[in-house]
Every structure is written in structure tokens, then in C-alpha cells.
Structure 1
Amino acid sequence: MQPEPQVAMISVSRGQITLSDRRTQRRWVVDLAPYKLAALPVTQRVFADVTGLRPSASVGDQLPVESVSWWEAVRFCNALSQQDGYTPAYHLLPGGEDNEIEWDHTADGYRLPTEAEWEYACRAGTDGPRYGQLDEIAWYRANSSERIKDVGGKLPNAWGFYDMLGNVWDWCWDVYDADVYDTYRVLRGGGWFDEHWSCRASARRRSHPTFKVDDVGFRIARSAV
């Protein structure tokens, strides 16, 4: 018998999203297949249950896990896939973190969302910078007392996703700009220490996949295969 999943997932129907980058003034359209996305960021309790580790700077079972690198998020996805009886989505080549990683698009296991999947779910059918009034939906510098907060403490969007903006930034699968930033990966959503302008559905940030800081976490996705 397959074990009960630890993470609540929400099904998202196929759709289309237009992404944009303020730095380059580029816009591009992405068609999305159906997928599932976690209603909440991965918590410290879930991360510890799966990996046995508690890397976060702040301590609390229902706080988002933070101070995790992109690589650690990828490894968590594979470990949770194996625990829940799914096929891991990622093939990590041996030899260290700087080697290539392959995403098996046919696998049913957990993975990081693409930034298109992330923004489509964040917007939940809206077209403004946010899916609600910022103080009602997000923890950010003006209302967080400059501290991370338990997941799910603010209002969700229309599709049931919590903390898409604020609290912690979410690692995404995508390379930000390989020509300029090499292997840097995309971060989305803004965090508890950010000003309001970073907590927008379209805001993009980047960092090296080994980067760790106390306002960066992640949420997980699955392909509808």
C-alpha cells in the first residue's frame, strides 16, 4: 500500500502564462501542461521527516524550511518521491554538485516547479502584481517584525495556495540566464525581509544553486503523467 503523502498538493489545469523580465525587457509565452503544486512551502517538520536534517536558522515545525540550497531542494524531491512510492524526477550524475542534472519528464515524482508553473499558480487567474491586498496575503518587511512565520498564516489565493508571496522565496527549476549568469537558478515570491516591491507575481530573482540564506525555501510540484 502506498503511504499517505506528507504534502498537500493542488491540481492545476493546463494553461498559458506570459512571463517577463524587467532587467532585459523580455517577454515570452509558456504553454503549461496539467500539474500539481504544493499548497504550502515545505515545512521544517516535513524536511526533517524526509531527510533527518534541520538546516534552518529559525526553529519551528510549521515554519518554512530555509537555508537550503537549490541542490538540497532537488535531493529532497527525490527522497520524498522514493518515500511516497513515486519515480524520482531527477537523475543526478555522480561526482559532485557542479555536474549536470537531468529531469525525467516522464516520471511521476516530486520536483521543483518551473517558474512558469509557479507564476501561473501564484496569479490564480488574476493579472495584477498580486492576487490580493499584500498585508492580507503575505509576510514581508512591513508586517513580519523581520522574522519568518509559520506557513498558512495569511489568506490563500483563489486556487488555495498559501504564501506564494512573502515569507520565503521559492526555488524554481529554471536557469535564470545561462549566457550571463551561468548556472544561477530562478527564485520567486519574495520573503519576510523584503520590501513590498519584491513581493509581486512577476518578480524574478536569481542565485547560485549552492546558495543558502534564511529567507529562501521551496515548494514542490508533480507532473500530471
Structure 2
Amino acid sequence: MFWKSKRLEEALQNLMVPLPAGTVELRDDRIKQQWEEIIQPFWLAKFPVTQELFKMVTDSNPSTFLGDQRPVETLSWKEAADFCNLLSEQAGLASYYVVSKTSEAIKFDAKANGFRLPTEAEWVYACKAGTTGIRYGELNDIGWYKQNSQKQTQPVGLKEPNSWGLYDMLGNVWEWCSDVYDQTVYGSYRIIKGGGWCDEERGCMATNRRRSHPTSFRIDDLGFRLARNREENENAGTNSAKTFSF
């Protein structure tokens, strides 16, 4: 990669974790359906995007609860996608999203090597990390939720990670995913996963799926996490998660 900022390059060292190929079962309790999806190897950030990283890239911070190591929140899906494109540009990578300035229509280049949001299937697969339950550990040990969050977000990485080294997958902030929820019923609404600091225990499960409007919905318990496609030369010889350095 060609970085425009040495400081940004250093901030992203060891952030992205390569995840192996596999399959994951998804379900939607609203329509009483479940299905299985194949997951290709991909990169996923070990933490939600922090306010420090967001400010470094955009020179702005929309968050309600301020703190460099807290997750950035109170931003729309489109603003998260715009961030991914801007970070890709600063890293010398191909932008994943093609965002229209005049409509809610969003196109993407599935083969682009730039930063993006994970799909719902990728997110669930990463969250479970080979486990089969609704959580990868006891919630009080792995996440910030209503009973332990002190009614606000908390700095990332303070709770226990899952077995693939991913932190804050449940609790702290909900996370935007790339996918449309149900275009026939909800139009352009996008999926959000993971539960947040103000949710009861039942809200913080890998299987929960919610949705909201991609351009107008912003709330103080909703952020996002970076993903990237893995290129062929990055996949060779990699069968399990390990830390990736740019």
C-alpha cells in the first residue's frame, strides 16, 4: 500500500485480522427463516473504528460520548461507507463503494481491495469465531451493555476477545453491515448487528438483526467496523486468524 500519512499507517498497524473461509448459519426470526452462507477469507478489524482513527482520516468527530479510544458513533451508514472510501484513498487502495450524491442508490465493486463494511454473514461468522451459541462468552466478560456500561460507550479492547482476537463484537456499539435488510419491505434500510451499551442482555446476541435508514439514522450506540477483501497472495498458506500488519 502507499500511505499518504505515516501516522495513519502506524495507527492501522496490526488492526486487521485475517479470517479463514467457512460457512455460517443465519436466521431471521421476523420471517421464521434460516439459511447458510459460504464465507470467503477476508480481513476484519479487531476493534470498532475509534474516534481517534475517524478524526485522523476525516478531521471530524460526530460522537456523543467523546474519547479517542471510544468507538465513533452517531453516524449514518452512508457516512460509514464514505469513511471506508476515504481511508481507501489515503491508503492507495481501490474504493469499494460508489456512492451517489443525488440518491440513496449505492453500488459497490465486489473485487475492490479497499476498506468496506462487513456483510451480515461475515459479521456473524466473525463474531461466533467457531462457537455455536448466541455469544462467544459470558456477556459481562466480553461486552459493555446496560448493566455494566455506566450509560455510555467505553474504550475499545477492554473486555475479553473471542478466539479469533476480535474485541467488542457484542455490546458497546451496534455495527453497520453492508447489506440491505429486506429491499421489498424496507427499501434501502441496512442491517445493524451486535447490541450496544444501552441494551439489555437479550439485545446482545450474535443472532440479533436490526435495520435502519442508511442516510438519516444516527444514534449514540451505533458505529462500525472495517473489513477488506483478501487478495490471492494474502490467502496463500493462511488457515487461521493471525494479526496482519500493513
The two structures have a TM-score, normalised by structure 1, of 0.96
Q: Distance in 1 between matches of 2:49 and 2:139?
A: 22
Q: Distance in 1 between matches of 2:28 and 2:47?
A: 25
Deviation at 1:58, TM superposition (A): 1.1
Q: Distance in 2 between matches of 1:106 and 1:200?
A: 30
Q: 1:161 aligns with which of 156, 163, 166?
A: 166
1:129-170 superposed Cα distances (whole Å, 9 cap, x missing partner): 100011000000011111110011100000000000000000
Question: Unpaired runs of 5+ in structure 1?
Answer: none
Aligned to 1:42: 49
Question: Does the 8 Å CA contact 2:104/2:188 hold for their aligned counterparts?
Answer: no
Q: Distance in 1 between matches of 2:78 and 2:104?
A: 11
1:30-88 superposed Cα distances (whole Å, 9 cap, x missing partner): 11111000000000010011011110011110010000100000000000001111111
Q: Distance in 2 between matches of 1:5 and 1:101?
A: 31
Q: Distance in 1 between matches of 2:167 and 2:73?
A: 16
Q: Distance in 1 between matches of 2:19 and 2:11?
A: 19
Aligned to 2:23: 16
Alignment of 1:65-104 (within 5 A): 65-95=72-102, 98-104=103-109
Deviates more, 1:98-107 or 1:157-166: 98-107
Deviation at 1:5, TM superposition (A): 5.9
Aligned to 1:221: 227
Which residue identity lines up with residue 19 of structure 2 in the other structure? V
Q: Does 1:202 align with 2:224?
A: no
Aligned to 1:56: 63
Q: Distance in 1 between matches of 2:83 and 2:204?
A: 26
Q: Secondary structure at the match of 2:27?
A: strand
Q: 1:152 aligns with which of 149, 157, 161?
A: 157
Cα distance change of structure 1 residues 85 and 5 upon mapping to structure 2, 3 Å threshold:
farther
Q: Distance in 2 between matches of 1:171 and 1:93?
A: 19
Identity %: 51
Structural RMSD (CA) = 1.1
Which residue identity lines up with residue 105 of structure 1 in the other structure? A
Deviation at 1:93, TM superposition (A): 2.7
